[in-house]
A = this chain, B = another copy of it.
Amino acid sequence: MSPPKAPDPSRRSERSRQAILDATHELLFDIGYPKLTIEAIAAKAGVGKQTIYRWWPSKGAVMFDSLLAHQREEGGALPDTGDVEADLKLVLRATVAQFNDPVLDGMTRALAVEIQNDPSLGREMVDRLLGPQLEATKDRIRSAQRAGQIAEDLDLSVVVEMIFAPLFHRWMLRTAPLTPEYADSVVEMALGGLRPAACRAG
């Protein structure tokens, strides 16, 4: 008859929620996502398994919330020194550093994996994690357009992907090591294009 009876969020135990998120984060750090189990989270958090199953649909969802809860509030705007090339290189070098950090590497891979199995998780990730960063980058690009450094007639969604995707690709498929120099190359090539051109040196 009734849809399987949804729990009442107003009665949710904040204490348990926090304990679960903390335990998950710690376990991700200690043993990594593939070895992470609901049972281990429950045990470490001092929580019944049912409490996890009551509020999250999957292991991936718990991990995602845990990631959100524990990331520092970095979502600021990009630097704007007036030199778009330098600013983008700075950002991409930072991204390279993140990918090379063992902990972040593990968690980000886990997240990427889980998105493959659970598209709804992917949507949320795009909205809450990736989206804001891409938006900030778009803002910086727009600023550069006003400064005449970037062409006007471009689809900014494609632009930001042109910039970030190569890093993601190399990291995810491990085709080659991710270095700061690679970040620089990507920025330069994206800005200048592949064609031979007198004005490339700008």
A117 to B35, CA, bound (A): 10
Report yes or no: A173 in contact with B117, Cβ–Cβ below 8 A. Answer: no
Q: A190's contact among B126, B162, B185, by CB below 8 Å, is which? A: B162
Q: A195's contact among B116, B149, B170, B186, by CB below 8 Å, is which? A: B149
A116 to B108, CA, bound (A): 10
Q: A34-B117, A169-B168, A193-B192 are in contact. Are A200 and B161 (CB under 8 A)?
A: no
Report yes or no: A122 in contact with B173, Cβ–Cβ below 8 A. Answer: yes
A202 to B193, CA, bound (A): 10
Report yes or no: B196 in contact with A200, Cβ–Cβ below 8 A. Answer: no
Does A165 have its Cβ within 8 Å of any Cβ on chain B?
yes
Report yes or no: B162 in contact with A130, Cβ–Cβ below 8 A. Answer: no
Nearest B-chain residue to A118, judged by Cβ: B34
Report yes or no: B175 in contact with A126, Cβ–Cβ below 8 A. Answer: yes
Q: A197's contact among B159, B162, B199, by CB below 8 Å, is which? A: B199
Q: For residue A151, give the distance in angstroms from its CB to the closest CB of chain B.
A: 4
Report yes or no: A196 in contact with B185, Cβ–Cβ below 8 A. Answer: no
A117 to B141, CA, bound (A): 36
Q: A162's contact among B119, B123, B126, B189, by CB below 8 Å, is which? A: B189
Nearest B-chain residue to A185, judged by Cβ: B158
Does A113 have its Cβ within 8 Å of any Cβ on chain B?
yes
A134 CB contacts on chain B under 8 angstroms = 175
Chain A residues within CB distance 8 Å of chain B: 34, 109-110, 112-113, 115-117, 119, 122-123, 125-126, 130, 134, 141, 148-152, 154-155, 157-159, 161-162, 164-166, 168-170, 172-176, 182, 185-186, 189-200, 202
